[in-house]
Amino acid sequence: MGVTADHKEEVIKSIVESIIQALENSNLSEADLPEIGKFVLARIDNIQTHDELVLFVGELATKWSVFKHIESSEKAVAERHDELQTAEKIGDLATSGRIEEALGLAKKATEE
């Protein structure tokens, strides 16, 4: 799944809001800001897919735990997208008369 410029902007906004909150709560120091900025700016423009975005925010959260909620949020978006794709595929299979395949895929999806 591709990542839109708007979604990247939302993630950047979340990062900035997290930084502000972490500074206010003393969970980050101003000395951390240059390294965070370099990390984000060096990677964000090259991200093309949602999987790459999830990896990026995962690395960010590993380095600075104040970003864990962003990682969790992006993982949830990816999971929801996968669920929707599976549901669409099940519907397509059923519509084309491939009921057994649709049932098998639905069973597999509900077991995971």
Sequence-distant (≥ 6) Cβ neighbours of residue 21 within 8 angstroms: 27, 66
Measured on CA atoms in the order 57, 58, 61, 63, is the torsion positive or negative? Answer: negative
> Is the four-CA dihedral 74, 52, 85, 83 of positive or negative sign?
negative
pLDDT digits (tens, 9 = 90+) for 61-72: 999 999 999 999
pLDDT in tens, 15-40: 999 999 999 999 999 999 999 999 99
Q: CA 83, CA 85: separation in Å to the nearest integer?
A: 5
Mean pLDDT of 49-74: 94
Contact 66, 14 (CB under 8 A): no
Residue 5 vs residue 22, higher pLDDT: 22
pLDDT of 100:
87
pLDDT value of residue 63: 96
Bigger pLDDT: 85 vs 24 = 24
- Claim: this prediction has a pTM higher than 0.85: no
**Is the pLDDT higher at 20 or at 105?**
20
What single-letter DSSP state applies at residue 25?
T
Q: Is the pLDDT of residue 50 over 90?
A: no
CB 51 within 8 A of CB 45: no
**Mean of per-residue pLDDT scores for the chain:** 91
CB 39 within 8 A of CB 55: no
What pLDDT is attached to residue 27? 94
CA 23, 28, 29, 32 dihedral sign is negative
